[in-house]
Amino acid sequence: MSHLLIIDALNLIRRIHAVQAGQSLTPEQALIATRATLINTTHKLLAQAAPTHAIAVFDAEVRGWRKVRFPAYKEGRTPMPTELRTGLETLQDAFWELAIDSLLSQTDEADDLIATLARKVAHHGQAVTIISTDKGFCQLLCPEIRIRDYFNKRWLDLPFVQSQFGVTSAQLVDYWALTGVSGSGIKGVPGIGPKSAAALLQAHGSLEAILSIESDDKAVKRVHAHADEARLACELVRLRDDIELGFNLRDLRLPLPGEKSE
């Protein structure tokens, strides 16, 4: 069986760089240290996951469809440090030196690229491991797809989702549509917090099911009163998996031991 390792590149790199930038180093020294740590970390990931294929997916600075649909999307995010932005090419080269291709689209967010790639591979019964701290990928969980939070040394798996959110992975999109996602500037339903959202979904199953019923329950009435906002949030938090990638799995194959990369 093939096993694809997908690295959420900037999720990994920005956290490594934040540590190095706090070590009283010059910007140039911090970038060099980030590159060295990135190579060391990636070696560990390859050793631990033992994949047959791998790719590092980068975010480009694009006005993607979510920003067009909802201009406040990620409005408050801390911008990437200038020295890191200008040094991204050398960090991409670090992956290349390890025989790992990089994917960077000028039109699509990394999250959607990762979702598309993961589901395409999983659809063919092959294994996928996503390296990211982003819980948004938990909506992709299935027997073929797993998610590893490298920094907290934990799997973002089905028990994690149940413990953290009180819903199933299939209900996560509707859960976030109700609660909103503050880090992305996505507003949910006013007055609906994590506990209320989980209780509603446990009782009714889905956002659309909640919107289809008549009830005197205050939480249900709140959802009805903000149906448009909830549906928009649902659209925004759902990862796209229909992007045309222009390559296939065999293009991402890692060289076998003793085999030179092309």
Kindly provide the residue ranges of all beta strands, DSSP E only, lying in the chain, ordered along the sequence. 3-8, 53-58, 101-104, 127-131, 145-149, 154-155, 180-181, 186-187
- Classified as helix, coil or strand, 180 is strand
Tokens 């670090």 sit on residue: 94
Determine if residue 213 is labeled as part of a ligand binding site.
Answer: no
Determine if residue 189 is labeled as part of a ligand binding site.
Answer: yes
Tokens 């994590």 sit on residue: 194
Cβ atoms of 175 and 167 closer than 8 Å: yes
Determine if residue 131 is labeled as part of a ligand binding site.
Answer: no
Residues 6+ apart with CB under 8 A from 104: 57, 58, 59, 60, 92
Determine if residue 178 is labeled as part of a ligand binding site.
Answer: yes
| Residues in the annotated binding site for Mg(2+) | 111
Binding residues for K(+), by number, are 178, 189, 192
Binding residues: 111, 178, 189, 192
